[in-house]
C-alpha cells in the first residue's frame, strides 16, 4: 500500500457563485464537501488509479467526524487518522462561475498536544513498515514542531521506504535536509528555499540541498524534474482553463503511483502532468476527469534537457 500523511487535515467546502463581488452578498448555486488536506487528496487519486492507500494524520471534533464519515465510503482508502481533542479545520473555496477563478480561505488547524504527537508517531511507524511509499503533504498544525517532516523522513528512510515531501516554508527547508527521495515544490516554494526565480537553477539548487530528486511545479506549464537519471520538462499539450484546486495533489499521486510501479522518470512526469491537467478540467474542484486523463497521457510532451543532473 501507499501511505499518505496529512498532519493538517481539513473539511473542504466548495461554494459556487454566479460572480464573486467584494463587499456584497452572494447566492451560492452549488455546495460540495470532501475530506481535505493535501495527503487526503493524494490518497483519493491514488485509489482511483487502483492503488491501496492508507491515510494518517489527525482528526478531531465535529468537523473531524464529518471528514472520517466522508472517507469511510471511499473505495481503496483506509482511515488511520489519529484522534485529537481539537477540532479539524475547514477550508472554503469560492468558485466564480463567470470567470472560473477560485478564492481560497484556509483555517489554521487545531493545536496538537505532545501526547497526541507521540500517538501519531507510534501509528506512523507501524504503517511505514507496511508501505511501499510515503507522501508527506501540506502544512503543519499548531503545536507540531517545524522539523516534524524531517523526523518523519528519517523514520521512513530507516525503514527503507521511499518518501515524497510536498510542503512549504521552513518545514520544507528542514525536511529537504533529511534527504527525501522526491520533493515537489511550486515556484513560490522554490524561491523561498533557494532565493532563485529561474526554474532550472532553482530546481538544481533545491536538489543540492538534500533531495534525491526534485519535481518542480511550473503551474499550467507542467513539471520540471532534476533527478540522478537526468533533467526533464513535461508539459500539457495546450493551456487549460478551469479550477486548479487539487492539481498539485493529483501530480503527487501520479509521481508516487508511477514510482511504485517501477516506471522511468519520463513516465512518472507524463502521468503526473496528465493527472494535474485532468484535475483542472474537471467540473468539481479537486477531482480529476478520467477520460481527460487517458486522452492526455499520450499528448503530454516530455523533453530531456540535459543528460544528467
- Cα 211 from Cα 202, distance rounded (Å): 13
Range with top average pLDDT, 80-84, 98-102, 104-108, 295-299: 80-84
User: Residue 81, Cβ neighbours under 10 Å: how many?
Assistant: 24
> What is the DSSP secondary-structure string of 135-178?
EEESPPPTTS-TTHHHHHHHHHHHTT--EEEE--HHHHHHHHTT
Greatest extent of the chain over all pairs of C-alpha atoms, in Å = 56
**Lowest-confidence pick of 28-37, 49-58, 104-113, 279-288:** 279-288
**Lowest-confidence pick of 62-66, 158-162, 192-196:** 192-196
What whole-number percentage of the chain has pLDDT above 90?
81
Assign 286 a pLDDT band (cuts: 50, 70, 90). low
Is the predicted pLDDT of residue 240 greater than 80, yes or no?
no
Rounded alpha-carbon distances, angstroms, from residue 70 to 11, 62, 65: 9, 13, 9
User: Which tens digits make up the pLDDT trace of 86-106?
Assistant: 999 999 989 888 987 888 899
The C-alpha cell 544528467 sits at: 308
User: Which tens digits make up the pLDDT trace of 104-154?
Assistant: 899 989 999 999 999 999 999 999 999 999 999 999 999 999 999 999 999
Predicted pLDDT at 308? 44
Predicted pLDDT at 284? 65
Predicted pLDDT at 306? 67
Mutual angle of helices 290-297 and 265-281, in 10-degree steps? 140
Nearest of 38, 188, 12, 24 to residue 96 by alpha carbon = 24
Grid cell at residue 31: 455546495
Active site residues: 249
Assign 288 a pLDDT band (cuts: 50, 70, 90). confident
Q: Interior CA angle at 307 toward 306 and 309, to 5°? A: 75
What is the distance of C-alpha 223 from the center of its chain? 14
Say whether pTM exceeds 0.95.
no
Q: Stretch 57-81: mean pLDDT, rounded?
A: 96
Q: Stretch 252-257: mean pLDDT, rounded?
A: 97
DSSP, collapsed to helix, strand or coil, labels residue 180 as: coil
Nearest of 88, 127, 90 to residue 105 by alpha carbon = 90
The DSSP H or E segment spanning 275 is helix 265-281
Range with top average pLDDT, 90-99, 181-190, 278-287: 181-190
Average pLDDT, the chain: 93
Predicted pLDDT at 99? 87
Return all residues near 205 (Cβ < 8 A) that are at least 6 apart: 193, 194, 196
The DSSP H or E segment spanning 41 is helix 38-48
What whole-number percentage of the chain has pLDDT above 70?
97
**Lowest-confidence pick of 105-119, 174-188, 213-227, 285-299:** 285-299
Is the predicted pLDDT of residue 1 greater than 70, yes or no?
yes
Predicted pLDDT at 283? 65
Predicted pLDDT at 245? 77
- Cα 72 from Cα 303, distance rounded (Å): 41
Mutual angle of helices 187-194 and 169-176, in 10-degree steps? 70
Amino acid at each position: 500500500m501507499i501511505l499518505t500523511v496529512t498532519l493538517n487535515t481539513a473539511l473542504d467546502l466548495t461554494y459556487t457563485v454566479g460572480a464573486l463581488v467584494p463587499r456584497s452578498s452572494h447566492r451560492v448555486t452549488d455546495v460540495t464537501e470532501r475530506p481535505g488536506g493535501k495527503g487526503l487528496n493524494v490518497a483519493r487519486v491514488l485509489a482511483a488509479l487502483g492503488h491501496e492507500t492508507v491515510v494518517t494524520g489527525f482528526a478531531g471534533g465535529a468537523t473531524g467526524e464529518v471528514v472520517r464519515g466522508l472517507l469511510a465510503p471511499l473505495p481503496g482508502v483506509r482511515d488511520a487518522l489519529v484522534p485529537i481533542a481539537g477540532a479539524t479545520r475547514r477550508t472554503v473555496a469560492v468558485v466564480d462561475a463567470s470567470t472560473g477563478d477560485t478564492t481560497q480561505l484556509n483555517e489554521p488547524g487545531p493545536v496538537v498536544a505532545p501526547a497526541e504527537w507521540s500517538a501519531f508517531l507510534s501509528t506512523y511507524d507501524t504503517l511505514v513498515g507496511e508501505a511501499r511509499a510515503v507522501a508527506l503533504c501540506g502544512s503543519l498544525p499548531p503545536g507540531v514542531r517545524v522539523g516534524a517532516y524531517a523526523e518523519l523522513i528519517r523514520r521512513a528512510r530507516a525503514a527503507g521506504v521511499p518518501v515524497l515531501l510536498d510542503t512549504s516554508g521552513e518545514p520544507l527547508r528542514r525536511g529537504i535536509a533529511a534527504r527525501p527521495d522526491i520533493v515537489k515544490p511550486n515556484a513560490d516554494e522554490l524561491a523561498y528555499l533557494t532565493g532563485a526565480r529561474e526554474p532550472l537553477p532553482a530546481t538544481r539548487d533545491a536538489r543540492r540541498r538534500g533531495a534525491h530528486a526534485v519535481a518542480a511545479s511550473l503551474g499550467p506549464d507542467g513539471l520540471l524534474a532534476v533527478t540522478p537519471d537526468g533533467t526533464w520538462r513535461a508539459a500539457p499539450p495546450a493551456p487549460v482553463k478551469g479550477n486548479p484546486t487539487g492539481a498539485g495533489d493529483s501530480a503527487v499521486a501520479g509521481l508516487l503511483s508511477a514510482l511504485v510501479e517501477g516506471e522511468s522518470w519520463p513516465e512518472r512526469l507524463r502521468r503526473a502532468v496528465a493527472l494535474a491537467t485532468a484535475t483542472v478540467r474537471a467540473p468539481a474542484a479537486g477531482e480529476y476527469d478520467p477520460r481527460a486523463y487517458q486522452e492526455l497521457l499520450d499528448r503530454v510532451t516530455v523533453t530531456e534537457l540535459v543528460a544528467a543532473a
